[in-house]
Amino acid sequence: MMNLLRGFSKGWTAKILIALLIGSFAIWGVSSSILFGPAGNVVTVGDSNVTAQEYRFAYDNQLNQLSQQAGRRLTRQEADIFGLRNNVLAQVTSGAVLDENTRIMGLGLSDKALAQEIANDPTFRDLSGTFSRNILRSTLRQYGLSEDEYIQDRKRVALRNQILEGTSASLDMPKVFSDAIALFRNEKRVFDYVAVGSEVMETKPVPTQTDISEYYEANKANYMAPEYRKLTLLTLRASDIVKPQDITDDEIRTAYDAQKKGLRTPETRRVEQLVLKDKVEAESVKEKLASGTSFEDVVKELGKTIKDIDLGLVTKTELPDTKVSEAAFKAELNVPTNIIEGLFGSVIVRVSEIKAKTTTAYNEVKDKIRDELALQKAGDEVFNTFDAVEDERAAGSNLVDAAKALDLRTRVVTKIDAQGRDENGNTIADIPILQQLLRVAFESQPGDDTRELPVGDDGFLWYEVEDITPPRQKELEEVKSDVGDAWVTQETNKKVLEIAESIAERIRKGEDMNAVLADVLPVDSIGSAVKFETSAALARNAQDPKIGNNAITEGFDAKKGDIKIAQATDGNVIVLRVAEVQEPDDKTIPAEGIEQLNAAASDDILNQVVQDMQSRLDVTVNQGSIEAAFNSYGGGGHGM
């Protein structure tokens, strides 16, 4: 099997595929014995199981995705409010159910087919389309994974896919279903609406000390100082250890001579090619040019312009017709050539501009070459320096001492919260892979034997947690101004909502809409009565800043003539009436929409298949192992 993989990838395919564990196995798990060592099973299905560490690995991947969607790092508590633990448990259980069924069915996959599948995966290719040895080395170092374990995991997923693809491949939903969806999606509605805001209040509410104290007590959770951590960081990249001063002039001169061909700019010429109908026309043009008619006049007589025949500034090799290129690059400036029998028939060429070939002088690129050579040497030294850092740490040195021994520099971040901010609320800059660092740093303790994190293809980041400042409740005096503002906003919103509800209720009872507004709302800025506006015909997913998404959603949940209210994002409350319901003329879904519907239905069927398989098997879930995964992981210092 390994020989096949090396054949497919010129020796590097299997190594780079390790990165798949970060993404593709977020749901299905990985070989946890390699990542974390032995542990109990969270799920057991017949002879198949999911270990506590596999569950935790999947959990962390899902937590990362949630954090990216939220735009900040979520805590475990916040994620579990969304049901993350149970969701991940359901996912890994489904994986184990599929594994057990592949075993029962006796499904298999040849080594050659698996090797081809891995080799063809574009996810693991660098920008040049080839596999990167540096990515391999940094990922292997981080996770301690071997090719064999990775291949077994990939095979397991491939076997599951045989069941999944065989269950719902090429599923097509009936037309009556897609037509119903089209009607739902494409229906439009027109609304009469008005925005009720704080201007309806004659005076701004002013809180008493009692109001502020009571609001603070009821909303203490909003006034917490977050947990902070003090971190020592050591970053190792080629740019961190580069030493241009160590590059000799002889090395630069050797590199310059080796690169000299690439430093040459070839001669370029602006070529104007006049293609003629036949030899008769070609001879006629030749005679006119010989008699003194200008090239421009000849071109004009043929109904063309110089722009029409201009091939631009080109090198000799850029002209596809060899005969034309030979003639053009022998021609004198602004002197038309004789007739050339080229690929496109009889042509006459004129060269109107010549830029001579040049070679970049040594002194012009000396410093650049020096920097490039230094960076190249530093890149070669990164992994040697990595080994040296790890040797120092293995001998008991902390990051500061290890860095001093190797003439490297550490950085101390005095206070950083789980969102990467300092105690003043400002994001701390210039920390590579910040989100990944925060994830592991906030799950480690002072004194933990933490693992390095990969930075790009050829860099590393080590971290140590030096101290933890626990979260604390801010005293009222610290946040009194903020609490007062929040109370005013709350009371203002309450009053605005009351007025909006009173407007809606009066209209529901039969009063004229604008008459109610004239009675309740103040006049606008120019003294005119406030009136209901009428929207354009809006689709269910329309974006209209005046009416807002919440109001549109409320309007599509109502019948024609109904009165609804909805909170707007700017603090206003929208009162609206469904004025018109428009059924779409086109009640069909485009091809890409049909594909999405089929995919959604396929997913639903797959879920049902897995549930049915699960109902036929003995599935055991060990909650104690789940807790053990979190507890041991949090204190074990793994850099995951």
- CA dihedral (401, 435, 456, 27) in degrees, to 10, reads 120
Question: Is 589 within a domain?
Answer: no
CA dist list (Å): 11 to 134, 144, 206: 14, 19, 74
Is pLDDT above 80 for 578?
yes
Q: Six-digit token pair at 638? A: 């793994």
Question: Is 261 within a domain?
Answer: no
Is pLDDT above 80 for 80?
no
Is pLDDT above 80 for 109?
yes
Tally of structural domains, the chain: 4
Residue 523 DSSP label? P
Question: Is 502 within a domain?
Answer: yes
Verify that 207 and 342 share a domain, yes or no. no
Which of 470, 505, 539 terminates a domain? The answer is 470
* 45 band by pLDDT with thresholds 50, 70 and 90: very high
* 413 band by pLDDT with thresholds 50, 70 and 90: very high
Verify that 237 and 273 share a domain, yes or no. no
Q: Which residue has the higher pLDDT, 625 or 492?
A: 492
Helix (H, G, I), strand (E, B) or coil at 358: strand
Verify that 148 and 207 share a domain, yes or no. no
Question: In this predicted structure, what is the pLDDT of residue 153?
Answer: 75
Verify that 16 and 102 share a domain, yes or no. yes
Question: In this predicted structure, what is the pLDDT of residue 496?
Answer: 92
Question: In this predicted structure, what is the pLDDT of residue 213?
Answer: 96
Residue 74 DSSP label? P
Is pLDDT above 80 for 379?
no
Do the beta carbons of residue 336 and residue 295 sit within 8 Å? yes
Verify that 522 and 381 share a domain, yes or no. no
Residue 333 DSSP label? B
Is pLDDT above 70 for 11?
no
How many residues are listed for the chain in this entry?
Answer: 640
Question: Is 332 within a domain?
Answer: yes
Is pLDDT above 90 for 522?
no
* 553 band by pLDDT with thresholds 50, 70 and 90: very high
Least confident range of 72-76, 195-199, 534-538, 633-637: 633-637
Which of 334, 356, 378 terminates a domain? The answer is 356
Least confident range of 14-18, 366-370, 489-493, 563-567: 14-18
Q: Hey, what amino acid is at 533?
A: E
Question: In this predicted structure, what is the pLDDT of residue 486?
Answer: 95
Question: In this predicted structure, what is the pLDDT of residue 27?
Answer: 32
Is pLDDT above 90 for 206?
yes
Question: In this predicted structure, what is the pLDDT of residue 228?
Answer: 96
Which CATH number goes with the domain that contains 285?
Answer: 3.10.50.40
Question: In this predicted structure, what is the pLDDT of residue 374?
Answer: 65
d(CA 529, CA 337): 82
CB atoms within 10 A of CB 198: 14
Verify that 49 and 95 share a domain, yes or no. yes
Do the beta carbons of residue 412 and residue 232 sit within 8 Å? yes
If you average pLDDT over residues 34-47, what whole number do you get?
68
Helix (H) or strand (E) holding 226: none
Global pTM reads: 0.50
Q: Six-digit token pair at 230? A: 């003090």
Q: Give whichever of 59-68, 102-111, 501-510 has the largest mean pLDDT.
A: 501-510
Least confident range of 14-18, 167-171, 292-296: 14-18
Verify that 8 and 125 share a domain, yes or no. yes
Question: Is 455 within a domain?
Answer: yes
If you average pLDDT over residues 242-259, what whole number do you get?
73
Question: In this predicted structure, what is the pLDDT of residue 420?
Answer: 93
Q: Which residue has the higher pLDDT, 332 or 11?
A: 332
Question: Is 181 within a domain?
Answer: no
Q: Six-digit token pair at 299? A: 């071109």
Residue-averaged pLDDT of the chain: 81
Which of 325, 356, 387 terminates a domain? The answer is 356
Q: Which residue has the higher pLDDT, 231 or 83?
A: 231
Which CATH number goes with the domain that contains 74?
Answer: 1.10.4030.10
Q: Which residue has the higher pLDDT, 161 or 566?
A: 566
Verify that 47 and 154 share a domain, yes or no. yes
Question: In this predicted structure, what is the pLDDT of residue 143?
Answer: 52
Question: Is 177 within a domain?
Answer: no
Q: Hey, what amino acid is at 408?
A: L
* 141 band by pLDDT with thresholds 50, 70 and 90: low
d(CA 388, CA 402): 9
Q: For tokens 């707007």, name the residue.
A: 568
Verify that 201 and 236 share a domain, yes or no. no
Verify that 347 and 466 share a domain, yes or no. no
Question: In this predicted structure, what is the pLDDT of residue 164?
Answer: 76
Verify that 240 and 92 share a domain, yes or no. no
- pLDDT tens across 146-173, in order? 666 667 777 888 888 888 777 766 677 7
Q: Give whichever of 271-285, 304-318, 475-489 has the largest mean pLDDT.
A: 475-489
Its domain, for residue 502, covers 188-224+476-582
Q: Six-digit token pair at 374? A: 């230094």
Verify that 502 and 615 share a domain, yes or no. no
Residues of the chain with pLDDT > 90: what percent?
39
Is pLDDT above 50 for 601?
yes
Is pLDDT above 70 for 61?
yes
* 446 band by pLDDT with thresholds 50, 70 and 90: very high
Q: For tokens 């971040």, name the residue.
A: 413
Question: Is 308 within a domain?
Answer: yes
Question: In this predicted structure, what is the pLDDT of residue 140?
Answer: 45
